[in-house]
Amino acid sequence: MDGSVDGFAGPRATLKAITVATRTDKKKNDDFGTVYRGHEGQWSWLFHRVTGVAIILFLFAHIVDTAVIGWGPEAYDKVTAAYKNPLVHLLELGLVTAVIYHSLNGLKITLIDFFPSLAGHIKALGRTTVLLFVLCMIPVVAIMGKQTLDLL
């Protein structure tokens, strides 16, 4: 008896049939980067996670600074006065940068999820995303940069 029931192999046979990919099994070629020197997709994945964390941290800070209104208008005015600091303006520019990148990359991911055939064009989609990001950032940096310089 081979351990099968109704034509299905038992757990031992199933374990033998499973092949586990390890780093040594993977051949290094131009299509895939290493863990440390990322392929464009790895950088996209990393930046998407980092920008998502940055956005969520801002949301926590925003909830706190908005909640200060509970201590009265004077306390709220003191907190919002910090937004006139040039360093805070640069942080706001970083926030807008994170939101724009995260949203454009999320749109790319959504398109690939809904239209799996686009996965064959991942490099072109990634480059288009970066191009759109740069084009969106030009007016943002011009406007927000001018406001920051006006504070100095």
Inside any domain, residue 21 = no
Distance CA 115, CA 61 (A): 36
Inside any domain, residue 78 = yes
Q: In this predicted model, what pLDDT tens digit does every residue of 32-44 receive, in sequence order?
A: 555 556 677 888 9
Q: In this predicted model, what pLDDT tens digit does every residue of 47-76 receive, in sequence order?
A: 999 999 999 999 998 998 889 988 999 988
> How many CB atoms neighbour CB 27 within 10 A?
7
Total tally of structural domains belonging to the chain: 1
Task: Print the domain residue range for 57.
Answer: 42-151
Inside any domain, residue 9 = no
CATH number (domain holding residue 116): 1.20.1300.10
Q: Residue range 69-89: average pLDDT?
A: 89
Q: In this predicted model, what pLDDT tens digit does every residue of 98-135 receive, in sequence order?
A: 999 999 999 999 999 999 999 899 999 999 999 999 99
Give the pLDDT of residue 151: 83
| Residue 146 near residue 88 (C-beta atoms within 8 A) | no
Q: What are phi and psi of 114, to 5 degrees?
A: -80, -25
**Concatenated DSSP letters for 46-72?**
HHHHHHHHHHHHHHHHHHHHHHGGGG-
